[in-house]
A and B are shown apart, each in its own frame.
Chain A
């Protein structure tokens, strides 16, 4: 079945540092890929998405590129802020269905 693997956290950074969270996937067909963010005590918010190979999703300074050849969708941000402290989930949506498969989540803590 489909699966998503992302780097374990926590990731602790200083403000303005560069952030990368690795995400790789296994799927049949051509899934859509997502990054969701969860702030403490809240539900998930869609951060960005990509629906086909080589697509780049971007939002709030975050970027991720759908790499079919490496089955990856790594999340990057050039300069993080304290407000970026949250748990980030990589997910895929199977091509022929509507179920999301989530990675384990990566907790990011940005210190001032």
Chain B
């Protein structure tokens, strides 16, 4: 149990376009999901905390108008990178907390975004 999926696994887009990444908890409900960004050979940086039915909480330095997060159901959160630029190229990873259990996050496999 506790499987988290992400779609797509890889995406290549042109500069100026928007890209949507989905994060789904497949076999549990997740009131809270998290979005991370990982640069090559570096650790994970928390971008935002996504709570079902409410606005996401963004970490300092993360542009909320550029990285739109929607958590419309207990099993789905989406991250939309708007007007993407090459510097947005990165590995984006989501995680989910099982509702009622705050001590463990389950991670998705990640999405590799390349902006040309």
Contacts and interface: CB of A to CB of B under 8 A. Distances in A.
A binds B: yes
Interface of A: 32, 34, 36, 41-46, 49, 51, 89, 93, 98-100, 102-105, 107
A45 B109 CA distance: 9
Interface of B: 4, 6, 32, 34, 41-44, 46, 49, 93, 95, 97, 102-110, 112
B42 A104 contact: yes
6 nearest interchain CB pairs? A44-B107, A43-B109, A43-B110, A43-B107, A98-B102, A102-B43
A45 B42 contact: no
Contacts, number: 50
Contacts of A49: 103-104
A103 B104 contact: no
Nearest to A87: B41
Given A89-B44, A99-B46, A104-B42, A42 B110 contact: yes
B69 to A, nearest CB: 15
Contact of A98 (B6, B42, B49): B49
B43 A43 contact: no
Contacts of A32: 103
